[in-house]
Amino acid sequence: MTIVAPSILSADFSCLKDEILKIEEAGADWVHIDVMDGNFVPNLTFGAPVVKQIRKVTKMFFDCHLMVEHPETYIDDFAAAGADMVVVHAETTRHLHRCIQAIHAKGIRAGVALNPGSPLALIEEVLSDVDMVLIMSVNPGFGGQKFIPEVLRKISRLRRKLDLAGLRTDIQVDGGINAETAAQVVGAGATVLVAGSYVYGSKDVKAAIASLRIFKQGE
């Protein structure tokens, strides 16, 4: 069964506590926290102090996606703030393996992310070291974008690589996820789905989350 991780990038920031409790009560599994620095992506969002405050609101799994340059300088702060997993972009650090080691040293899960135009070759050498690979299905920076269908081939290739290596690494997909695209990416091999505007823009948040919870054959 897929893990559903609504992105609070699409939440109402004026009542963030209520927005997080809304998805928790609606059955979400994780909270996806998009951290943007205005350099790697053209937007600014949350810092570790915000994560520290919303950690008081819920015990849900915090999936912190760092879309920032030099992510190694922020790992300690987000781990201390209550992140359960920190995901860094392969495109943003010269020492990806060291960065992953630093995350694991904090006793939390580590993930690596790739933009739509970035090849799998960037992460092949660390696949056995990460808990999750995040495949972006939009160009990062803003919510509400249209799904890029070409990433389906990338997801399929990654799933084959992981299966051949005997790795149980999760594949997360973020960008343009709705009931239709969810079925496509899960069919290609995804196990974790991030959805922002589809969930928070729905009149029935519980139904929106349920529509993303896809059961694979044999489950």
Catalytic residues: 34, 174
Q: How far is CA 97 from the centre of its chain?
A: 19
Q: How far is CA 194 from the centre of its chain?
A: 6
Q: In this structure, are residues 212 and 179 in contact, taking their beta carbons and an 8 Å threshold?
A: yes
**In this structure, which amino acid lies at residue 97?**
H
Name residues whose C-beta falls within 8 Å of residue 68's C-beta, 6 or more positions apart in sequence. Answer: 35, 36, 37, 39, 40, 74, 92
Q: Which ranges constitute the DSSP H helices of the chain?
A: 16-25, 48-54, 75-81, 96-105, 151-164, 179-188, 197-200, 205-212
CA-only gyration radius of the chain, Å = 16
What CA–CA distance (Å, rounded) separates 178 from 211?
Answer: 8
Q: 36 burial class (0-12, 13-18, 19+ CB within 10 angstroms)?
A: buried
Q: Which helix (H) or strand (E) holds 194?
A: strand 192-195
